Structure formats: structure tokens, C-alpha cells
Amino acid sequence: MEALYENIFRRKSTRNFNMDALDEASLLRVSDILHRAPNLFEGLDVHFHIIRDGSGFSEKATGIIGAYTKVKAPHFIVVTANTQSGFRQAVGYSIAHVILAMNDLGIATCITYPGVDKSVIEKHAQLEEEQEPVLFIAFGNPENPLELYPKADYYKRRPLKDIIIQGPVKRKYKFILEAVRLAPSSFNTQPWRFSVDGNRIHLMRVKLGFIKSKFFTSLNKIDMGIALAYMIIAMKSKGMKFKLVKQSIPHTDMEYMITIEIQE
């Protein structure tokens, strides 16, 4: 967890890839990371399929919302799940571990939204029954090796005071929120908010207006899974003990997700 935590502060998305394939040893290491990726919920496993020939695939498989999704990369991972309740959060949780572990190996990544039919994906990856594609992770070497890691002023993120909707936050817990603040999110929307009550951190998602709702809400649920993973990675790296508990916390502008109860 120590290595994953450290990588929170030196990961960024790469959109310009060198189209040369990675060597076999690196692809094997990626495969190993995918096998070891943790799942958020028992009985809701997130699956991964590596597409080795990324150049042919990226032409067909990206582009539904304009240039944003158009990432060309030497390889892709197709992330799939059974679409039962909570699957988007589960996907976010697993991929957060994957991208940080890949970053630790010096492999560049970009999460992208799959703007194509399942039938196109199935020409390149054999999906198991009832598994639906949720996301892609483009990966490889960056075109410019210096762009693998973020520069000091890279992260455009909301300050803590904007994402903590209720406090105060004890000083010893601040690092958890500092870590999650840097998490990647779709369109960098950073939909997470925190209501902190002593040793309990309630994780909330900003509710979107009706027009924006359907598509962006789906993506934001993935973002929330990533946020939870970042918090857990931060706490585990410091050996903190905690429980995830579901409470009932109604809020007019926020959707309550889960509470992290830290053992003091």
C-alpha cells in the first residue's frame, strides 16, 4: 500500500503515447496487477481484458463524445463487470488500484470511456457471459518520457475547503482528504464531498441537474469508487484501522455513498 500511496502524488493521465508495444515482461507485470486488483464488493468481481493491438482498436473504439475519448495507445485494458447494483463504484475502486500500480512500474495510463458498441469490443476481447464493458484503460509508454509524471503545478483540483462540506477535520486525518483530492475523475469533475464527524468520514457525491444527469451520473459513480479506493490506500499506508459502514444521511444536494469509521 505504501507504493500505491506514493503514486497518488505522481500519477497523471497520458494522452500522447509512443505507439511501440511494451516488452513482454512489462505486459506480464500488467497482467499480474490485473489479477491482483482488489474488489470492493464480494460477489461483484471486476474483470479485465488486455488488448495487445491497441492501434487498430483505438481507431474504432473511441470517439463518442468528441476528442475527449479519442486516445490512441499501443494497448488497452477493457474493464467489465456484471451490471448489478454498485457495479460502477466497484469498477472505480478496482481500477484505482490498477492505475496506481501501473504508474509504479513507470507505465503510462489514461482511463477512457468506451464510446462503442459491445460488438466492436468483442472482436478484440472475449468477454465472459453477463460482463458488460464499463471503461477502457489506455496504456503504454508516453511519447515524451518526461510527461509520465506530473510537474509540481499539474493538479487542477478543488481545494480542501471546497470538498469538505462539514468539519472540523482532525489534523491526523487530513492526509486522507489530501490524497483523495488528487484522484482522477471523469472530465475532472471531482464529484466527491466529505462530511466529517469526529472519526467518521461520510463520503457524498454531488447530485447533478436533470439535463446533465444520466451520462455524467454514471461516470461520477465510477469516480466515487476511485475516491473510496484512494482514501483506503492512504489509510492502509499508515496502518490505520477502519470500517466501512452504511448509514442513512439524507442531503438535498448530495447523494450519500458510505461512511469510513476510523478506529481511534
Ligand X SMILES: Cc1cc2nc3c(=O)[nH]c(=O)nc-3n(C[C@H](O)[C@H](O)[C@H](O)COP(=O)(O)O)c2cc1C
**Residue 111 sits in the site that holds ligand X (CB under 6 A):** yes
Provide, rounded to whole angstroms, the least separation between the CB of residue 197 and ligand X: 28
Peptide bond into 168 cis (omega under 30): yes
- Encoded one letter per residue, x for contact with ligand X by CB under 6 A and - for no contact, window 130-169 reads -----x----------------------------------
Residue of 115, 110, 106, 148 whose CA lies nearest to 134: 115
User: Residues 33, 101: contact at Cβ < 8 Å?
Assistant: yes
Antiparallel, parallel or unpaired: β 75-81 and 132-142: antiparallel
Cα–Cα distance, 99 to 10 (Å, whole number): 11
**Residue 185 sits in the site that holds ligand X (CB under 6 A):** yes
Stretch that binds ligand X, among 28-36, 47-55, 107-115, 231-239 (CB under 6 A): 107-115
**Residue 80 sits in the site that holds ligand X (CB under 6 A):** no
**Residue 68 sits in the site that holds ligand X (CB under 6 A):** yes
User: Residues 176, 235: contact at Cβ < 8 Å?
Assistant: yes
Cα–Cα distance, 110 to 13 (Å, whole number): 5
State the alpha helices, DSSP H only, in the chain: 2-8, 24-36, 54-61, 87-104, 118-122, 160-163, 174-181, 210-237
User: Residues 26, 105: contact at Cβ < 8 Å?
Assistant: yes
Provide, rounded to whole angstroms, the least separation between the CB of residue 3 and ligand X: 18
**Residue 186 sits in the site that holds ligand X (CB under 6 A):** yes
**Residue 69 sits in the site that holds ligand X (CB under 6 A):** yes
Provide, rounded to whole angstroms, the least separation between the CB of residue 39 and ligand X: 17
Member of 184, 224, 229, 261 binding ligand X (CB under 6 A): 184
Member of 12, 75, 97, 193 binding ligand X (CB under 6 A): 12
Footprint of ligand X on this chain (CB under 6 A)? 12-13, 15, 68-69, 71, 110-113, 135, 184-188, 219, 222-223, 226
